[in-house]
Amino acid sequence: MTLLAGHPEVRTPECVPELIYSRFLTEHGDFEKAGEVLAGIRLRASAAFGERGPYVASIDNRIGILYLHEGRLHDAEVAFRGTLSSQDQREESYGTDKQMARLYLALVRMEQGRFREAEPVVRDMYERLMAKPAAEREKAKEFFVNHRMGQLLMGLGEPAAARLHFERALELTGHYEPSSPAVAQLRGRLAQSLIELREWQAAEAQLALAEQAFRDQPDVSGQYKRPVEEARARLRQAAVGRHRAAP
C-alpha cells in the first residue's frame, strides 16, 4: 500500500488513464486535483451503473484513500463505509471492494492508534490471501497485506514479527520502480522495526535508500514520508543515548 497497492481497479478501459493519473496526483500531494479527477469518474460511474454498483464502490475506496493521505480520517471512514453499503460481489474470494473497504477502515484505526480494533480485520485478510497457493497470489496484494501486517505488529509492540512481514513485502516490490514512494515508506517502517531490535546499521541502510528516493521525488505525499522521518528521528535519539551511555 503503499496505501494504494492491491486495490481493485475500476474495470472500464476509458477510466484507466484517469485512475493512473489520480494515483500519481495523490502520491505527489496534489490532493485537490486528484479529488477532481476521482469525482468526475465517480459521477460517470454512478450514472452508468447505479449509486450502489461495484464501480462506484471502487471509486469510493479510492476517494477514501485520498482522504487518508490528506489526514482526513473521518471523511475517509465515511467513504469506506459507503462502499460497505454497495452491492455484494464475490465475497467468498479475496480482494472485493467491500473487503478492501474493511481493510482500509482498519488502516484508519491504525492511524488513530487503535491497533487492537484493527487486528481482526488485518489478520483475516492476511490469512485469506496466504491460504491460496503461492502461484495464485498476486504480488501486489501479497505486498500490501504483508506491509499492513507489519504495521499492525509494530503497533502491538512486536517488532521482531513485524520485521519478517516488512522484509517479505520488500521481496515483493519488483512491480515498483526502485524510487517508488510506496517502497520508501515500507523501508521506513522496516527501519523502525530494526531500531527497536537495536540493529542500527541495518536501519541506517534502509533509511538511506528511502531518503534517496524522496530526494529524487521531493513532492511526494507526507503519508509516505512520515514513517521515514519518524525512524530517522528515533535513530538519532538512539545514537545520542548510546553516546551518553558510553564510558
| 99: confidence class by pLDDT, cuts 50, 70, 90 | confident
Listed range (1-15, 37-51, 120-134, 155-169) with the worst mean pLDDT:
1-15
- Domain assignment present for residue 230? The answer is no
- Taking the C-alpha atoms of residue 152 and residue 2, their distance in angstroms, rounded to an integer, is 14
Q: In whole angstroms, give the CA distance from residue 101 to residue 84.
A: 7
| Residue 238 or 192, more confident | 192
Q: What is the mean pLDDT of residues 23-42?
A: 92
Phi, psi of 113 (to 5 degrees): 80, 15
- Determine, yes or no, domain membership for 240: no
Q: Which three cell numbers stand for residue 134?
A: 503461492
Can you give the pLDDT at residue 90?
A: 60
Number of domains in the chain: 1
> Residue 14 pLDDT > 60, yes or no?
no
What is the DSSP secondary structure assignment for residue 14, as one 8-state letter? G
Q: Are 228 and 210 in contact (CB under 8 A)?
A: yes
pLDDT tens digits for 37-59? 999 999 988 888 788 777 888 89
Extract the C-alpha cell encoding 123: 489478520
Query: Is residue 49 assigned to a domain?
Result: yes
Query: Is 29 part of a structural domain of the chain?
Result: yes
Q: Say if 179 falls within a structural domain.
A: no
Range of the domain at 27: 2-135
pTM of the model: 0.85
Per the structure block, which three cell numbers stand in for 216? 529524487
Tell me: pLDDT of 11 over 60: no
- Is 219 buried (19+), middle (13-18) or exposed (0-12) by CB count in 10 A? exposed
Is the predicted pLDDT of residue 197 greater than 70, yes or no? yes
| Residue whose grid cell is 479510492 | 62
Asked, for residue 200, whether it belongs to a domain, the answer is: no
Question: Which of 21-30, 150-159, 164-173 has the least mean pLDDT?
Answer: 21-30
Which stretch, 24-38, 46-60, 119-133, 183-197, has highest mean pLDDT? Answer: 183-197
Q: How confident is the model at residue 144 (pLDDT cuts 50, 70, 90)?
A: very high
Q: How far apart are CA 133 and CA 96, in angstroms?
A: 19
Instruction: Flag whether pLDDT at 121 surpasses 60.
Output: yes
Radius of gyration of the chain (CA): 18
Residue 199 lies in a domain: no
What is the structure's pLDDT at 45?
Answer: 84
Mean pLDDT over 95-122 rounds to 93
Whether the predicted pLDDT of 91 surpasses 60 = no
Burial readout 185-200 (b: 16 or more C-beta within 10 A, e: otherwise): bbbbbbbbbbbbeebe
What mean pLDDT value characterizes the chain? 88
CA angle 203, 207, 212 (to 5 degrees): 155
> Which CATH number do you get for residue 27?
1.25.40.10
Q: What is the pLDDT at residue 207? A: 97
Beta strands per DSSP E along 118-204:
none
Q: Environment class of residue 81 by beta-carbon count within 10 Å: exposed (0-12), middle (13-18) or buried (19+)?
A: middle
In a domain, 46, yes or no: yes
Q: What percent of the chain has pLDDT over 70?
A: 89
CA distance 148 to 184: 15
Residues above pLDDT 90, as percent of the chain: 61
Per-residue pLDDT band at 2 (split at 50, 70, 90): very low
The yes-or-no verdict on residue 117 having pLDDT over 90 is yes
